[in-house]
Amino acid sequence: MLNIKLPEIKFKLPKLKMNDIEDVGELKVDIDKLKEKQEKQEKLKKGEHYKPTRYKTVKDIYQHSMETYAKEVFILDKENPKDEKFKEWTYREFGNDVEALGTALISKYNIKNEGIVIIGENQYGWYVSYMAALIGAGIAVPVDKELPENEIENVVNRSKAAVVIYSAKKKEEIKKIKENLSTVRYFICMQSNDKLKGKDVGLNTVIREGKELIKKGKNTLMDVTIDPEEFKALFFTSGTTSNAKGVMVNNRNLAENINAVSAYVQLSTEDRLFSVLPLHHTYESSIGFLLPFAMGCSIAVCQGLRYILPNIQETQPTAIIAVPALIESIYKNIQKNIAKSKKEAMVTSLMHMTNALKAAGVDVKRKVFKEIYQGLGGKLRIIVSAAAPIDKKIGKWFQDLGILFLQGYGLTETAPITAVTPEFDTRVGSAGKTIICAKTMVDQPNENGEGEILINSSTLMMGYYEDEEATKEVIERDEHGERWFHSGDVGYIDKDGYIYITGRIKNVIVTQNGKNIYPEELEHLLEKMDEIKECMVYGKEVEGEQELIVTARVIPDDDKIKELYGTKTDKEVYDILWNKIKDLNKTLTSYKAIKSLELKEGEFIKTTTLKIKRFIEIKEGKIKEIK
């Protein structure tokens, strides 16, 4: 179980003056240019898209990027988060290390397409290890660094890994369990120069050994031919090891992610992505790593949640992929700074004005809001929200600020992309548009068009590792032999292929009359209340009651409550929230009304992507006793 707290992120923006805004009234519109842009936009909206890449394997991507972007900066990282400056690695330097590591693993350590577990915080060595595995050194097995020792042990043994590559921070944990890992022949520590001793060796040493072999003309990694259909990566779904499933992914699955996104979003060598999601997560390892690598972008590695702001300001990213909890935190902090500067009315007015100008072909948002942009590094142009739904008003606000707000949808089983927002037709509130290599449909839709989302895609996994029965439960073939994946997500799809997620089948609360209540719908409404920081809605079993009681478990926003109402006791906070919920209930269909309120004690139990572990929280989470 993981209990992860998102630390408070304070954006120390200077007091907003906004006195030096250029006279936008004097700006001239280039009619011909505007007409050309509008015509292109209309074509794209009517179903056309950018010309996609056509990669078949990750090795194809690797070779293209090495030939095309060799001198460009690829990774910015620090050996220690407190180091003064980020160190930069070019594509060529990165490639040299990848080829050296892979060659040494194959030729010296005799790894023959076996499991390579990679575990640790995001860092340069993680990227090198993952790429080396994907392009020929073995089967990559990214593992959540937050797993307790017994679960790490279980995952390593289930994957039959021959190698464990781990970060220095995981050294003591690996030491405690290594005797129980019978299949592992080598333990390789990142950022270490240790020579081989028994089964232990430093990653830097292995890379040096590989470079010596390459100097002698033995680049065995690049001699490996990759079959697009070959099993090359094993991802374990979140959850305890007893029910975590191993998702088998091939090179084609991963390459198709890049092809699909390139049709909807254009990136270039001018772009820099900020890596904050954990790399063991398929979204970050595919869209946060392989995608920018394929496009010649650079990646700045966040040194930990507490360092987000200084890292952003130092590296000046153009794009950030994050979970809703982090994006909401950034949004709230910017709003607080605007409020302190007493510029709320001005910012709102300028958003309306700049929206009108943009519609007329004049985009001055970056100039008008440059002080806010500076707090985000100065170059940010894209925010991607992934892994969970987000409040629509937050996405709309960033769009009004001039930042493209995109959303991505998918699952580990789809490696992960199923839908993404096209940059030329953003629709805030949607989870994205079905990608060009996929088909989606709603299974047995209700009167509102809602039902389980089914996915047929070339990114769809090969199946669950050593679990054919579980694979058959979620993938079925139609009369044409096509494989359709049951996502477990409930939602609807509009006529243009945009997906709207409204809930999860496993979370649904079913009434005695057969009505379905999706907790996520109620949570979105509750989260709009200033007094609520976080919440979870669930069906509570109460002795003597046949009906599940629709219950809201809430973490109050103590600072906001103090600001609005003064210092309050837990009972008074409860009463304030319950009165707000009663007002909300008046706007709901009667069967959806929230019948019970609980004040959460401490933080919610969460995954590393900050999703609440609902069933564990219901069973083990603590609530305050209100007398």
Q: What is the CATH number of the domain that holds 533?
A: 3.30.300.30
For residue 553, which amino acid is it?
A: R
Of 289, 304, 320, the one marking the end of a domain is 289
Is residue 281 a part of any domain in this protein?
yes
Local confidence band at 7 (pLDDT 50, 70, 90 cut-offs): very low
Is residue 113 a part of any domain in this protein?
yes
For 482-514, b/e burial (b = at least 16 CB within 10 A) is eebbbbebbbbbeeebbbbbbbbeebebeeeee
Whether the per-residue pLDDT at 382 is higher than 80: the answer is yes
pTM of the shown model: 0.85
Residue 598 near residue 626, CB atoms below 8 Å: no
- pLDDT tens digit sequence for 207-253: 999 999 999 999 999 999 999 999 999 999 864 334 679 999 999 99
Q: What is the CATH number of the domain that holds 267?
A: 3.40.50.12780
Of 239, 255, 289, the one marking the end of a domain is 289
Q: How far apart are CA 385 and CA 319, in angstroms?
A: 11
Q: How far apart are CA 285 and CA 66, in angstroms?
A: 19
Q: Which residue has the tokens 């002080």?
A: 371
Give the tokens for residue 468: 């054919």
Is residue 37 a part of any domain in this protein?
no
- pLDDT tens digit sequence for 545-580: 878 899 999 999 999 999 999 999 999 999 999 999
Count helices and strands in the chain by DSSP H and E runs = 22, 27
CA neighbor of 347 nearest in space, from 360, 359, 334: 334
Is residue 40 a part of any domain in this protein?
no
- pLDDT tens digit sequence for 580-602: 999 999 988 888 999 999 999 99
Is residue 414 a part of any domain in this protein?
no
Domain count, the chain: 2
The whole domain housing 220 covers 58-289
Is residue 373 a part of any domain in this protein?
no
Of 270, 289, 308, the one marking the end of a domain is 289
What secondary structure does DSSP assign to 509-554, as a single string?
A: EEPTTS-EE-HHHHHHHHHTSTTEEEEEEEEE--TT-SSPEEEEEE
- pLDDT tens digit sequence for 500-529: 998 888 888 877 666 778 898 899 899 999
Q: How far apart are CA 517 and CA 407, in angstroms?
A: 24
Is residue 569 a part of any domain in this protein?
yes
Alpha-carbon distance values, 100 to 31, 212, 276, 449 (Å):
54, 8, 27, 53
Q: What are residue 469's phi and psi, to 5 degrees?
A: -65, -45
Is residue 74 a part of any domain in this protein?
yes
Local confidence band at 423 (pLDDT 50, 70, 90 cut-offs): very high
